[in-house]
């Protein structure tokens, strides 16, 4: 089964951007880990990252059309993008929302709301990059049952 791992704005800067919050793993390293974790679960994983909201919406629309499960870290768009909300609403296969940090534990009030959560079968947060492994396990379980 093919799974898309989609990462939103600034996640391409992993390893450089606020390592005290997001850790030292780079996005390239995360992508490699996701492919390996997916392989272990019998999943074919493709990892993508964009800083452009329309590109993310296009990817989500294509996932809806193709029936692909999605692991989504919408980053800042999580908190306000109704375009991402609408695109997530169209998904027919499982969507798992993932966050490296725990948005609810962060001091900024705006981070406490997610437009993705209403469409997700599960939210994985605060586990660092290992949260992506957990999210892929959720996809594997959800798709098998």
pTM score of the predicted model:
0.92
DSSP3 helix / strand / coil % (the chain, rounded to 5): 50, 15, 30
Name the domain count of the chain: 1
The answer on pLDDT for 70 being more than 80 is: yes
Residue 19 pLDDT grade (very low, low, confident, very high; cuts 50, 70, 90): low
Output the known binding site: 73, 79, 86, 100-101, 111
Q: Under a CB-based contact definition with an 8 Å cutoff, are residues 131 and 102 in contact?
A: no
Supply the CATH number for residue 57's domain.
Answer: 3.40.50.9100
Output the known binding site for substrate: 73, 79, 86, 100-101, 111
131 burial (CB, 10 Å; 0-12 / 13-18 / 19+) is: buried
3-state secondary structure of 75: helix
Model pLDDT for residues 20-31, shown as the tens digit of each residue:
766 678 999 999
Which residue range forms the structural domain that includes residue 122? 2-144
d(CA 1, CA 7) in angstroms, rounded, equals 20
Higher pLDDT pick, 28 / 145: 28
């Amino acid at each position: 089964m093919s799974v898309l791992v989609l990462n939103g704005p600034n996640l391409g800067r992993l390893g450089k951007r606020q390592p005290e919050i997001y850790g030292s793993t780079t996005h390239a390293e995360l992508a490699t880990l996701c492919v390996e974790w997916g392989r272990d679960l019998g999943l074919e994983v493709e990892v993508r990252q964009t800083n452009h909201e329309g590109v993310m919406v296009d990817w989500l629309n294509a996932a809806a059309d193709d029936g692909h499960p999605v692991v989504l870290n919408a980053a800042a768009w999580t908190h306000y993008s109704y375009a991402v909300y609408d695109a997530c609403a169209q998904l027919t296969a499982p969507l798992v929302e993932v966050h490296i940090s725990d948005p609810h534990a962060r001091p900024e009030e705006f981070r406490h709301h997610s437009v993705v959560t209403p469409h997700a079968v599960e939210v994985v947060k605060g586990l660092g990059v290992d949260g992506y492994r957990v999210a892929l396990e959720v996809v594997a379980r959800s798709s098998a049952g």
